[in-house]
Amino acid sequence: MSLPENQDFMRLVAAEITAVKAFVALLTEETGVLRANDISALERVTAAKEKLAGELEALGKKRGYFFTALGILQNAAAMDSWLATQPPGFAEAWRELMRLAETAKDLNLANGQCIALLSRDTRVRLAVITGSEESTYTPKGRAASSPSSTGFRIRDNV
């Protein structure tokens, strides 16, 4: 088996940059969909995200094979060391990929937090509707801790 060549790395990184840019665009779209509470659009975006995540994983594995074939550890120090021996465009491409990956990570985290809040809000709404004990409100819309939620009302005693 022959060792991978420099252009193999650049092709891999270029493919990853393209895929991560598409992923960032989907995450940005997901942000808008979550804010609009558009369930049908969310289903479409989620399906597209899952497909693209699979592609990104495959590209990451190819990159891993590339470095394994060269005997290079896959950590920041080894990468910096290797990039220092490569043409200048390599380091710029790698930094662009890392910047995009960080953007995707931040967007994904923010969207996850939004989903958690929406999920909590849905649970509270369901608790209110069903009258479960977790509810802050009674089925009649009164605060669960208010005197009227215990069945005692001032006008009953007047």
CATH code: domain of residue 67: 1.20.58.300
pLDDT at position 108, please? 94
**Is 52 among the domain residues?**
yes
Distances in Å between the Cα of 74 and the Cα atoms of 26, 29, 64, 77, 97 are 27, 32, 7, 8, 15
Across the range 131-135, mean pLDDT stands at: 64
**Is 75 among the domain residues?**
yes
Least confident range from 42-56, 101-115, 131-145: namely: 131-145
Least confident range from 2-6, 43-47, 83-87, 88-92: namely: 2-6
pTM for the whole thing?
Answer: 0.76
**Is 154 among the domain residues?**
no
**Is 140 among the domain residues?**
no
Number of domains in the chain: 1
- pLDDT for residue 149 is more than 50: no
CA–CA dist 38, 27 (Å, integer): 14
DSSP assignment of 25-47, as one string? Answer: HHHHHHHHHHHHT-HHHHHHHHH
**Is 117 among the domain residues?**
yes
User: Between residues 53 and 142, which one has the greater pLDDT?
Assistant: 53
**Is 109 among the domain residues?**
yes
- pLDDT for residue 28 is more than 80: yes
- pLDDT for residue 2 is more than 50: yes
* pLDDT tens by residue, 74-123: 899 999 999 999 998 999 999 999 999 999 999 999 999 998 888 888 88
Q: What is the span of the domain harbouring residue 117?
A: 6-134
**Is 115 among the domain residues?**
yes
**Is 116 among the domain residues?**
yes
User: Between residues 121 and 42, which one has the greater pLDDT?
Assistant: 42
